[in-house]
């Protein structure tokens, strides 16, 4: 009987004409490989117009094994595709969990950017947590202040949250604004009266920019440590602030802070990437269409179908300890051996496919390209160079 829709357990490939055609051919292939063959009944027997298989398998058994082999092939291939480019898939739309198979993904640095967010937050150049500002009133004669109690911040859930103090503005402005500004009075004097601060014997050097940056940091640190008498200490997890020296008059103290959130997920509910692909389970990979699998993959699927069919036949035979034959003897069946052989073949096929895919991950391809480029350079290094004269 030819393959008809509904002959397989899940019907994944029932609408694929190539799969249906190969399914009928595999019935004959499996029967012959298992030592049965397809024969026609003798004239006068029931169903003499149909062929049947001389093994303990039906065509439906083979169809189901064929479907399982094709699904497993696609699952292994998809797993290695995910392994190659998981970082690029993270945060993308999950959709219907299908449509991404057999497609070449575009590389993305979104994973690296999101991993760098906490470092940017520490440097005040990024991050996903809002930076809040606040102030308290310093009172004359009072040195210690409980910032946590004075500010009493609440988190996104409305419950009390702990502050992470970032900056306390208790110092003079940055040195870069005071010493290197373009509006300094000395610049006006230089421009209007041609003042010079060097002698004819002076020697000028072109210094790197980083030296100017370091020099500015030195001025800034000098202002904070040497020229300012004001400092502070922060104690305990409740942000107990101690001002030094003791204030002699009422004054405002300004600071910035973040809120400590126990959640590891982004605080912004509008971030759609938070609800996108998060791991290998929700990448939009569906079953690979059988008709688009090349000869390499189909051969693997056919061999796996044979091994799965052999396992089914072995399980059937293992149910019967023996079959009575003429003379009162019992014929022992080889069900256990068939099951063991089939499972060894399946393991071998899976390992063979995984080794092939492992050698072709994007990481391995990049390494091979680099190795090939180096080899090519070594070969070209032996080519004699021409000498041009003119």
Are 147 and 162 spatial neighbours (Cβ–Cβ below 8 Å)? no
User: Which residues, listed in sequence order, are joined to residue 145 by a DSSP beta bridge?
Assistant: 241
The conformational region for residue 368 under phi > 0 = left, psi -120 to 50 = alpha, else beta, is alpha
CA angle in degrees (0–180, nearest 5) for 296-298-301:
115
Strand order in the sheet with 144-146: 144-146, 240-244, 231-235
> Using CA atoms, how far apart are residues 386 and 186, in angstroms rounded to an integer?
61
DSSP assignments along 50-115, one per residue: S-EESSS--HHHHHHHHHHHHHHHHHHHHHHHHHHHHHHHTTS--TTS-S-TT--PPP--HHHHHH
pTM of the model: 0.71
pLDDT at 125: 79
User: At a CB cut-off of 8 Å and minimum separation 6, what does 178 contact?
Assistant: 172, 219, 223
Place of tokens 């065509």: 59
Digitized pLDDT (tens) for each residue of the chain, 390 residues in all = 688 888 999 999 999 999 999 999 999 999 999 987 655 554 554 554 545 546 789 999 999 999 999 999 999 999 999 999 998 888 888 878 888 888 888 888 888 888 888 888 888 777 778 889 999 999 999 999 999 999 988 887 788 888 988 888 765 555 555 544 444 555 555 555 555 555 555 566 677 888 888 888 887 777 666 666 677 888 877 789 998 888 888 988 889 998 887 666 655 666 777 788 888 999 999 999 999 999 999 999 999 999 999 999 999 888 876 656 556 555 566 788 899 999 999 999 999 999 999 999 999 999 999 999 999 999 998 888 777 776
Query: What pLDDT, on a 0 to 100 scale, did the predictor assign at position 13?
Result: 96
Q: Which residues pair with residue 323 across a beta bridge?
A: 331
Structure tokens that stand for 169 in this block: 């503005």
Q: What is the pLDDT of residue 199?
A: 53
Give the three-state DSSP class for 117: helix
């Amino acid at each position: 009987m030819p393959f008809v829709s509904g002959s397989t357990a899940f019907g994944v490939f029932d609408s694929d004409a190539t799969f249906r055609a190969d399914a009928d051919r595999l019935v004959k292939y499996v029967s012959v490989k298992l030592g049965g063959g397809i024969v026609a009944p003798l004239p006068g027997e029931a169903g003499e117009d149909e062929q049947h298989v001389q093994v303990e398998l039906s065509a439906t058994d083979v169809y189901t094994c064929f479907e399982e082999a094709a699904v497993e092939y696609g699952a292994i291939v998809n797993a290695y595709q995910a392994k190659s480019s998981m970082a690029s898939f993270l945060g993308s739309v999950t959709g219907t969990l299908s449509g991404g198979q057999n497609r070449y993904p575009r590389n993305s640095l979104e994973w690296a950017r999101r991993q760098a967010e906490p470092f940017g937050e520490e440097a005040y150049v990024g991050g996903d947590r809002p930076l809040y500002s606040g102030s308290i009133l310093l009172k004359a004669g009072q040195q210690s202040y409980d910032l946590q109690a004075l500010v009493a911040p609440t988190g996104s859930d409305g419950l009390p949250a702990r502050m992470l103090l970032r900056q306390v503005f208790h110092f003079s402005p940055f040195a870069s604004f005071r010493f290197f500004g373009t509006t300094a009075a000395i610049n006006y004097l230089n421009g209007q009266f041609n003042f010079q601060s060097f002698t004819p014997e002076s020697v000028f050097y072109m210094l790197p920019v980083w030296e100017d940056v370091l020099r500015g940091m030195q001025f800034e640190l000098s202002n904070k440590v040497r020229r300012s008498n004001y400092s502070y200490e922060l104690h305990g997890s409740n942000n107990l602030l101690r001002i030094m020296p003791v204030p002699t008059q009422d004054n405002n103290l300004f600071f910035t802070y973040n809120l400590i959130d126990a959640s590891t997920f982004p605080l912004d509910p509008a971030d759609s990437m938070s609800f996108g692909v998060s791991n290998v389970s929700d990448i939009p990979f569906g079953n690979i269409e059988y008709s688009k699998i090349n000869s390499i993959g189909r051969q693997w699927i056919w061999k796996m179908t044979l091994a799965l069919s052999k396992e089914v036949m072995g399980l059937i035979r293992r149910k019967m300890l023996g079959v009575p034959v003429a003379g009162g003897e019992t014929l022992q069946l080889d069900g256990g051996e068939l099951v063991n052989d089939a499972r060894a073949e399946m393991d071998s096929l899976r390992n063979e496919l995984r080794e092939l895919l492992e050698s072709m991950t994007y990481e391995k391809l990049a390494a091979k390209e680099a190795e090939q480029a180096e080899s090519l350079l070594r070969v070209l290094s032996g080519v004699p160079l021409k000498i041009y004269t003119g």
